[in-house]
């Protein structure tokens, strides 16, 4: 079964309705998923304003040859609105001179003005200074020079951000600018992480003979968090089906388990799952061949193999897309999707026959990067390639290089697909 077929099987077998919503303050919105389209409540910018510190003027007052002299009638600082004036010439002259207003960046351009001349193009003092009574301008400004118009970024009533967007700093600042102080986001999926294995020692403790540090719990819990979920239960379970069954929590949206799904004599997940109508498949991928899923009561369980790189790859291919659905995000771009980015192999490596390879790879920058204009170059992060046990090397990967099942060797220079990792 291919990874796509297996992912579809998970969707067919496990409930994955989009979760409910909650309101959060913008400052708490980082990484949360926007629940509804965000419609602008304000024009951005909200009013015509100056792009420069200088003088607001009327283009038509630049008659004949310069320089031109203006009477400065008021100061318009940011946050201040200048005096209303009728647009008749009488009000727009003083002492025989056309008028100008000293204006600061971001301040509203008076209705009567149609351009701003920056202070450097005048004889007025720069910086903190009293308002001059007169100003001399040497060059005629272009029509509408240095004016930023209301709504030129976005107009009120238009959709600024689509539902399903994961909110980053720029989206959150956009929300502030269009009139929001808080935002409706999807509830975080509560995820239980159960790592199985009698050999597991808590991180930081000296492992006894035959024991290894439990790295999968940390990996899965942080992957869950990074994908927008909340790892509410994180624990290890030794190698019996009874203990595993007893450890399945009831108040979560998803359970992810690692280990115990292959052919071993002590594979508790498989033993428990087979007794509870779970599905186990051999997926034609490397790493991550043995996979399982099922229901614990009505809670979906995705069981990934125990080898750490298999865990990370399985999460990327099956768990993250599942969370994406719970969060109402757009479909994740995965393995064989058309539109995957491509890179050239910067080294040669081997791939197992009959399984699509997902190789943790590093994108080369600096030397070798776009040397011949050919785009990204990817190299394995470890000389042992996509070995599923290479837990300590995979942190260096930027991407997974995807090598089709019928390819057994990648040569330097070959084109390969890449997906984010």
Residues that bind ligand LQZAQKY5 (CB under 6 A): 195-197, 199-200, 212, 214-217, 258-264, 267, 287, 289-290, 305-308, 310, 388
Compare residues 146 and 291 and give the one whose CB is closer to ligand MOO: 291
CA distance to 18, 252, 258, 271, 386, per residue, from 275 (Å): 29, 22, 18, 7, 33
First-last CA distance in the chain: 22
Q: Tell me: does residue 196 bind ligand MOO (CB under 6 A).
A: no
- Residue 375 binds which of ligand MOO, ligand LQZAQKY5, none (CB < 5-8 A, kind-dependent): none
Minimum separation from the CB atom of position 387 to ligand LQZAQKY5 (A): 11
d(CA 388, CA 289): 10
Task: Compute the C-alpha angle 377/378/380, nearest 5°.
Answer: 155
Residue 122 gets which letter from DSSP?
B
How near is the Cβ of 384 to ligand MOO at its closest, in Å?
12
Asked if 307 interacts with ligand MOO (CB under 6 A), we say: yes
Among positions 384-413, residues that touch ligand MOO (CB under 6 A) are 388
Of the candidates 304, 310, 297, the one whose C-alpha atom is nearest the C-alpha of residue 245 is: 297
Question: Over the Cα atoms of the chain, what is R_g?
Answer: 31
Cβ pair 315, 420 in contact under 8 A: no
Query: CA-to-CA distance for 262 and 304, rounded, in angstroms?
Result: 10
Instruction: Quote the least distance from Cβ 320 to ligand MOO, whole Å.
Output: 17
Q: Is 357 in the site for ligand MOO (CB under 6 A)?
A: no
CB neighbour list of residue 191: distance below 8 Å, 6 or more residues apart: 224, 229, 230, 231, 232, 252, 253, 254, 255, 256, 323
Whole-angstrom distance, CA of residue 65 vs CA of residue 35:
59
Query: Applying CB under 6 A, which of residues 29, 110, 288, 292 lies at the interface with ligand MOO?
Result: 288
- Least Å distance, CB 305 to ligand MOO, is 5
316 binds ligand MOO (CB under 6 A): no
Stretch that binds ligand MOO, among 52-60, 111-119, 286-294, 327-335 (CB under 6 A): 286-294
Q: Does 310 bind ligand MOO (CB under 6 A)?
A: yes
Tell me which of ligand LQZAQKY5, ligand MOO, none is bound by residue 257, counting a contact when its beta carbon lies within the kind-specific cut-off of 5 to 8 angstroms.
none
Q: Which span (123-131, 137-145, 281-289, 330-338) binds ligand MOO, by CB under 6 A? A: 281-289
Six token digits for residue 87: 């647009």
Query: Least Å distance between CB 176 and ligand MOO?
Result: 45
Does position 258 interact with ligand MOO (CB under 6 A)? The reply is no
Residue where the block lists tokens 């791939």 = 351
Which residues of this protein are in contact with ligand MOO, per CB under 6 A? 286-289, 305, 307, 310, 388
């Amino acid at each position: 079964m291919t990874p796509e077929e297996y992912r579809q099987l998970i969707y067919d077998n496990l409930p994955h309705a989009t979760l409910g919503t909650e309101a959060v303050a913008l400052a708490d919105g980082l990484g949360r998923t926007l629940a509804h389209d965000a419609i602008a409540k304000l024009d951005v910018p909200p009013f015509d304003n100056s792009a420069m510190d200088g003088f607001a003027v009327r283009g038509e007052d630049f008659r004949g040859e310069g320089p031109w002299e203006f009477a400065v009638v008021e100061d318009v600082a940011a946050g201040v609105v200048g005096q209303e004036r009728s647009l008749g010439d009488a009000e727009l002259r003083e002492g025989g001179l056309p008028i100008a207003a000293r204006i600061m960046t971001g301040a509203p351009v008076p209705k009567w003005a149609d351009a701003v001349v920056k202070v450097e193009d005048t004889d007025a003092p720069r910086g903190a200074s009293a308002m001059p009574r007169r100003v001399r301008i040497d060059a005629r400004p272009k029509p509408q020079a240095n004016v930023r118009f209301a709504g030129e970024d976005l107009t009120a009533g238009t959709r600024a951000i689509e539902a399903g967007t994961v909110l980053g700093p720029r989206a959150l600042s956009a929300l502030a600018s269009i009139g929001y102080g808080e935002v409706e986001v999807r509830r975080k999926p509560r995820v239980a992480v159960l790592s199985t294995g009698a050999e597991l020692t808590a991180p930081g403790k000296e492992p006894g003979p035959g024991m290894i540090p439990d790295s999968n719990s940390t990996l899965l819990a942080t992957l869950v968090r990074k994908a927008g979920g909340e790892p509410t239960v994180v624990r290890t379970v030794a190698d019996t089906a009874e203990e595993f069954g007893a450890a399945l929590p009831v108040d979560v949206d998803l359970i992810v388990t690692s280990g115990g799904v292959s052919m071993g004599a002590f594979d508790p997940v498989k033993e428990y799952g087979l007794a509870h109508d779970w599905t186990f498949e051999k997926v034609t991928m490397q790493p991550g061949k043995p996979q399982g899923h099922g229901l614990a009561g009505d809670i979906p369980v995705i069981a990934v193999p125990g080898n750490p790189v298999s865990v990370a790859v399985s999460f990327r291919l099956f768990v993250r897309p599942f969370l994406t659905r719970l969060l109402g995000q757009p479909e994740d771009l995965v393995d064989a999707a058309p539109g995957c980015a491509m890179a050239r192999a910067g080294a040669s490596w081997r791939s197992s026959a009959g399984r699509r390879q997902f190789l943790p790879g590093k994108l080369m920058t600096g030397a070798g990067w776009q040397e011949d204009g050919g785009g990204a170059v990817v190299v394995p992060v470890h000389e042992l390639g996509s070995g599923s046990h290479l837990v300590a090397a995979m942190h260096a990967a930027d991407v997974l290089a995807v090598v089709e099942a019928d390819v057994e060797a990648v040569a330097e220079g070959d084109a390969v697909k890449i997906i984010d990792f």
